[in-house]
A and B are shown apart, each in its own frame.
Chain A
Amino acid sequence: MNVFSEIQTWVHQSFDTIRSLGTPEFPEATQSFPIITDANSKRLFTGLVLTKNMEFVDDLLTFEELGKHLKYQGCHIANLSSPDFTAKNGVGGCLRSLLRQFLMSSLDPADISILASWYREENCNNPVVVIIDDIERCCGSVLSDFILMLSEWVIKIPVILIMGVATTLDAPRNILPSNALRCLCPFEFTLGTPAERMDAVVEAVLVKPCSGFIIGHKVAVFMRNYFVSQDGTLTSFIRALKIACTQHFYTEPLSVILLEFASEEDNLVLEIERYGLSPEVIWKHVFELPSCQRVRLNKPTSESLAHAFSELKRLQNQWRAVVLCLYVTGKGEKVRLLDLFCEAIDPESYNQGEFDTNMKAEKDPVLSSSRIKGHFICKAVRLVRDLSTAQLGNLLKIWENLTVGIPEINGKVKELLPLLNAEDGKSSKKDLTVTPRRHTSRIQLNIEKDSKSLSDKATNLIECMVRDYMHPTECIPFHEIFCFKDADKLRLALIGDPRRRIQVDLLEFQKLLCCRCCTSSSNALLPSMHDTSIMYKLAQEHGDLINLHDWYQSFKSIVLCPNSKRKPRQSPLPKKRKGIKEAESQSEASIQARFCRAVTELQITGLLRMPSKRRPDFAQRVAFGL
């Protein structure tokens, strides 16, 4: 992120400034009385990073990454957060945490002179950066004490503060007293909003050719909704993306070729054998992919496959270029890349669009623009129409750069550029030559018309780009290898349903355990089963209240009597069971212990509530159904 590098250069600049005030020698640096230089020497350089009230998790991660980034550049880093600045611990708390991070040991009387000695023992050519996550959550008096203390030592220990501010720049003013504020020499940095950061992530990972991995439309929509419902937490989105990636690699055997696919330029040579797979199996797998079935290939050979892959790559590159063009167009007007991406990747609207093109002969530009799918793409296209000539010129140049790899589009963009230059010349000529007033209006009219036609042409171009070159990945054969489409799986992995999972596992434990004894008879309860499992199955037969005595008796009967087929409805009769002599081998106590343990486990998993005082004999079931 460029904010990081900005901060980094600022850190080094301020370090040099501190250095220029004088570098004390060892005895001087550790002495207790202050080194007196001029008035500015007591000021702490402070970077106020406006986080714009990001989600807490994002916040933490951002500052952690900032710390890593700066550490990589050779700074000493300590991350402090609001729990270090509580009124209870006072200034000692934050100093202790500071020392712990720098010295890797905790010392009882946390004293800043220790830090000074430490800094002298290190080679003192690196700045000390203290990052405070969120100053609004810190206790103001402690923070101000901390700042005052650091400012007394700033020559001896060149500390540079970086503070996260969630709301506005007024925040430090509201928190800190004036004598602490006086010590600060603040600089402002602004992090992007979640949406902007999001766009950056999407652009880097999904749109730019980085790994070749891509997500399907359903997954994209799901992830977008997930992002929105999580209040724009970037961390959750990235996690979702990672999970999607992992699951894709896990399920799709051919995804191993992704790396080569992404790295190699053209003429992908398949070396499946390298991965220890037999080519026959692979080909069978590849040519049975649904997308391949749709487009009948003549014969499944290596050549045709390679050809299909290069075709896929070509189409993908085109798609990428168009999406980026659209994104650049809509950037100023809050068209989000994620929304664009979701629309651009939608295969249905594309198919539909194709259908429309076949049906209609395009003549009317208005009609054609209405035909373009999607709300956001439409918006971006409309924006092109409204641009002024200069803006259009800039835009076209950007497009030209973006489409460098794709000769078809690039040629068309290049065709437009000279027109633009001609127009520029005309308008500049108009400025220079003094024309009679009567003519001016007409010329202006002319120019307007020209620019109108130019922007029309540009609009046509982008429409044509969207129509002809934006093939969603899901419409291309063999896309399954690269594209993750299973939104349900992702949802399951992301959101999960632990209680349901526990219940299922308890009821169908055979699937997990795979032991020989239980598989044969699927429904009957056997003593060899797991205790908790037996208990839970027994509990299924009760209502929301379970009589503990009955429950125990049935449990005991199952455990004691391996051959008896259980009849769940009536609770087993104790006296009948008592007659069985072999029961004596197992003591009553051990069964009770097992019973208790199973009940506790059920309680811990949240399936059961323990007996209350009012009804000591009954346990209550909490979870019903799956």
Chain B
Amino acid sequence: MATEESPQVTRRATRSYSASNTAIESTNLPESYKPTINDLGFRQQPLRLEDLLSSFPGRRSQILELLRLLGPLNSPMFPILVYGGPSTGKTSVTLQVFRHLNRPFIYSSCITCYSPRILFESILNQLLFHRKDSGHSYSSVKRCERPSDFVNYLREALENVLTNLKGNSGKVSSKMSGRPDGTMVYLVFDNLERIRDWDKSSTILPFLFNLNDILKMPEVGLIFISNTSPDTYYLNIGYVEPIPLYFPDYTEDDLRHIFMANQTNSRLYASFLDVVLRPFCRVTRQVDELAAAFSSLFKKYSEPLSDKEVAPNEEMKRRLFSHIRPHIASALNETFQVRSQPLLKAETNEETKKTNSSRMLGIREDFDKIDFHMSTSAKYLLISAFLASRNPATLDASLFDSTGVSDSRKRKRNCAYWKNFKYSPRACYNLTLEYMGI
């Protein structure tokens, strides 16, 4: 969830990647591909710092801070906890920083690895350059369920990798061959908040936070990425607290920069953003939500234009605005509804109530409007539920309670109330018939 995107850079990156690598990769059949130490790096052209900073508008200070915390090459570090709301660029920034630094890292998302065992095995698989394939029936390299086993295996694997890394840090041409730099290995745990649901966080979460102390290897860096703030992790249980790094929500200007990147007709899009960005920002600042809403809205916006390359003047902007205005309201509502789930539920409940009451008044016409098939038994159940709902509580007790209503005083008091609700069997029958649309 924390992935954020920088359309410009990544597009370019993928293109250049595919262009540069197809020649090399196409000779290798996928089956024969053996992962090597290179796989610990990002395997793409390292990014320059300027590119990195420009590709994440509004993230300058966070990137610099992260770089500072990671420190220069081969320097030990404290664990880092990167946190911030969803879709604020935590994962992307972290990954791109590693691409910039060209250092080896292991990434594991706790959404994909939904249990401790899979998390451990996924990390070990990456460290031991093991890839699941049909040759060994997609099994993991080691079977590992308990944290203690994991520590042993991990230490073994890390030592192996580190000697490997050291072995080639001596060669100067490490950059040219695409090998990652340095003799540090970083473990990145994404979506850490998911772990709290696994086993009520009793063991795994403290274990991970404590991993640095347990391993006692200065060559290992830990980075945690989480949606929620460090307060939610009860960090004060006697181990080194990870250094928090907060990613705040984007401001409106940041969002404008993000969305303006990589647009073909930038002036048209700018005028579009002038119209939509402000109202949407009041509802949500999550880039992925906004992107989804904007992509469809922009299509509508540019619908009346025959030439998509044209730069709009004031007159045209006004026309386009009047064209898009009704759509904005509905789209706004849509994002809003999806976002605020409890409110929506309340709304729908109200709605159903309303329809129910109207159904009682105009039974016949409403019956036709039900657009899904209902079995006969379901219809009868509904009728009986409706009838039962009209019963006073005392009647319920006398009908369904085996002891009956003992409190005679209560019964007496309710007697008058009762009479209003008396149904003759005939009336019930009529109601039933009406409801069934017979």
- Which residues on A are within 8 Å of B, measured CB to CB? 22, 25-28, 30-43, 50-55, 90-92, 103, 105, 107, 109, 111-114, 117-118, 120-121, 145, 148-149, 152-153, 166-168, 170, 173-174, 177-179, 181-182, 185, 193-194, 231-232
Q: Mark B171-215, 1 if CB is under 8 A from A, else 0.
A: 000000000000000001000000000000000000000000000
Is the CB–CB distance between B288 and A145 below 8 Å?
A: no
Query: In the complex, what's the smallest C-beta–C-beta distance from A66 to chain B, in angstroms?
Result: 18
Q: Which residues of A contact B113 (CB under 8 A)?
A: 111
What are 20 A-B interface contacts by the 8 Å CB criterion? Answer: A26-B25, A26-B30, A31-B39, A33-B95, A34-B3, A36-B91, A36-B92, A36-B96, A37-B10, A38-B291, A39-B4, A39-B287, A42-B3, A55-B373, A92-B114, A113-B122, A121-B133, A167-B372, A174-B348, A231-B375
Q: Which residues of A contact B408 (CB under 8 A)?
A: none
With A32-B126, A36-B95, A40-B295 known to touch, is A25 a contact of B21 (CB < 8 Å)? yes
Is the CB–CB distance between A152 and B291 below 8 Å?
A: no
Interface centre among B3, B91, B133, B340 (most CB of A within 10 A): B3
Interface centre among A33, A54, A92, A166 (most CB of B within 10 A): A33
- CB neighbors of A among B245-288 (8 A): 286-288
Is the CB–CB distance between B25 and A25 below 8 Å?
A: yes
- Interface stretch (choices B65-73, B137-145, B154-162, B304-312): B137-145
Give the distance in Å from the alpha carbon of A31 to the alpha carbon of B31 in the complex: 15
Closest-by-CB residue of B relative to A117 is B132
Contact of A109 among B121, B292, B348 (CB under 8 A): B121
Closest-by-CB residue of B relative to A41 is B5
**B117 interface hit (Cβ, 8 Å):** yes
Query: In the complex, what's the smallest C-beta–C-beta distance from B167 to chain A, in angstroms?
Result: 22
Is the CB–CB distance between B372 and A168 below 8 Å?
A: yes
**B100 interface hit (Cβ, 8 Å):** no
Is the CB–CB distance between B118 and A39 below 8 Å?
A: no
Is the CB–CB distance between B109 and A181 below 8 Å?
A: no
- CB neighbors of A among B327-341 (8 A): 337-341
Is the CB–CB distance between B137 and A53 below 8 Å?
A: no
Q: Which residues of B contact A118 (CB under 8 A)?
A: 134, 138
**B376 interface hit (Cβ, 8 Å):** yes
Query: In the complex, what's the smallest C-beta–C-beta distance from B38 to chain A, in angstroms?
Result: 9
Closest-by-CB residue of B relative to A123 is B30
Total interface residues on B, using CB and 8 Å?
Answer: 69
Q: Which residues of A contact B96 (CB under 8 A)?
A: 36
Query: In the complex, what's the smallest C-beta–C-beta distance from A119 to chain B, in angstroms?
Result: 10
With A32-B112, A36-B95, A41-B5 known to touch, is A173 a contact of B337 (CB < 8 Å)? yes
**B43 interface hit (Cβ, 8 Å):** yes
Contact of B138 among A28, A92, A114, A179 (CB under 8 A): A114
Q: Which residues of B contact A111 (CB under 8 A)?
A: 112-113, 118, 121-122, 132, 140
Is the CB–CB distance between A43 and B292 below 8 Å?
A: yes
With A42-B3, A152-B111, A182-B289 known to touch, is A117 a contact of B133 (CB < 8 Å)? yes
Q: Mark B1-23, 1 if CB is under 8 A from A, else 0.
A: 10111010011001000100110
Give the distance in Å from the alpha carbon of A167 to the alpha carbon of B91 in the complex: 38
Give the distance in Å from the alpha carbon of A277 to the alpha carbon of B117 in the complex: 71
Closest-by-CB residue of A relative to B121 is A109
Give the distance in Å from the alpha carbon of A92 to the alpha carbon of B341 in the complex: 26
Closest-by-CB residue of B relative to A167 is B372
Give the distance in Å from the alpha carbon of A90 to the alpha carbon of B372 in the complex: 30
**B231 interface hit (Cβ, 8 Å):** no
Is the CB–CB distance between A32 and B5 below 8 Å?
A: no
Give the distance in Å from the alpha carbon of A168 to the alpha carbon of B330 in the complex: 19
Give the distance in Å from the alpha carbon of A336 to the alpha carbon of B318 in the complex: 52
Contact of B33 among A27, A92, A107 (CB under 8 A): A27
Q: Which residues of A contact B244 (CB under 8 A)?
A: none
Query: In the complex, what's the smallest C-beta–C-beta distance from B429 to chain A, in angstroms?
Result: 21
**B317 interface hit (Cβ, 8 Å):** no
Give the distance in Å from the alpha carbon of A42 to the alpha carbon of B375 in the complex: 39
Is the CB–CB distance between A53 and B134 below 8 Å?
A: no
With A32-B126, A90-B114, A173-B338 known to touch, is A52 a contact of B3 (CB < 8 Å)? no
Contact of B1 among A52, A174, A179 (CB under 8 A): A179
**B393 interface hit (Cβ, 8 Å):** no
Is the CB–CB distance between A27 and B372 below 8 Å?
A: no
Is the CB–CB distance between B372 and A153 below 8 Å?
A: no
**B35 interface hit (Cβ, 8 Å):** yes
Interface centre among B126, B138, B291 (most CB of A within 10 A): B138
**B371 interface hit (Cβ, 8 Å):** yes
Q: Mark B102-129, 1 if CB is under 8 A from A, else 0.
A: 0000111101111101100110001000
With A109-B121, A117-B132, A153-B112 known to touch, is A39 a contact of B288 (CB < 8 Å)? yes
Is the CB–CB distance between A52 and B371 below 8 Å?
A: yes
Is the CB–CB distance between B140 and A109 below 8 Å?
A: yes
Query: In the complex, what's the smallest C-beta–C-beta distance from A173 to chain B, in angstroms?
Result: 7
Q: Which residues of A contact B438 (CB under 8 A)?
A: none
Q: Which residues of B contact A166 (CB under 8 A)?
A: 372
Q: Which residues of B contact A90 (CB under 8 A)?
A: 114
With A27-B35, A32-B108 known to touch, is A22 a contact of B14 (CB < 8 Å)? yes
Q: Which residues of B contact A33 (CB under 8 A)?
A: 95, 107, 109, 188
With A27-B39, A166-B372 known to touch, is A36 a contact of B5 (CB < 8 Å)? yes
Interface centre among B292, B339, B373 (most CB of A within 10 A): B373
Query: In the complex, what's the smallest C-beta–C-beta distance from B257 to chain A, in angstroms?
Result: 14
Query: In the complex, what's the smallest C-beta–C-beta distance from B37 to chain A, in angstroms?
Result: 13
Q: Which residues of B contact A153 (CB under 8 A)?
A: 112
Contact of B339 among A39, A105, A178, A194 (CB under 8 A): A178
With A54-B373, A231-B375 known to touch, is A145 a contact of B114 (CB < 8 Å)? yes
Contact of B375 among A55, A103, A177 (CB under 8 A): A55
Query: In the complex, what's the smallest C-beta–C-beta distance from B26 to chain A, in angstroms?
Result: 9
Is the CB–CB distance between B344 and A173 below 8 Å?
A: yes
Is the CB–CB distance between A152 and B109 below 8 Å?
A: yes
Closest-by-CB residue of B relative to A231 is B375
Give the distance in Å from the alpha carbon of A51 to the alpha carbon of B138 in the complex: 37
Contact of A107 among B18, B30, B137 (CB under 8 A): B137
Is the CB–CB distance between A121 and B11 below 8 Å?
A: no
Is the CB–CB distance between B1 and A107 below 8 Å?
A: no
Q: Which residues of B contact A53 (CB under 8 A)?
A: 372-374
Is the CB–CB distance between B117 and A114 below 8 Å?
A: no
Closest-by-CB residue of B relative to A112 is B112
Contact of A182 among B22, B107, B292, B377 (CB under 8 A): B292
Contact of A170 among B18, B138, B348 (CB under 8 A): B348
Give the distance in Å from the alpha carbon of A193 to the alpha carbon of B107 in the complex: 49
Give the distance in Å from the alpha carbon of A167 to the alpha carbon of B30 in the complex: 45
With A34-B3, A113-B132 known to touch, is A120 a contact of B372 (CB < 8 Å)? no
With A26-B33, A53-B373, A148-B111 known to touch, is A181 a contact of B338 (CB < 8 Å)? yes
Interface centre among A113, A153, A174, A181 (most CB of B within 10 A): A113
Is the CB–CB distance between B107 and A38 below 8 Å?
A: no
Give the distance in Å from the alpha carbon of A573 to the alpha carbon of B295 in the complex: 95
Query: In the complex, what's the smallest C-beta–C-beta distance from B331 to chain A, in angstroms?
Result: 14
Q: Which residues of A contact B7 (CB under 8 A)?
A: 37-39
Give the distance in Å from the alpha carbon of A194 to the alpha carbon of B35 in the complex: 54
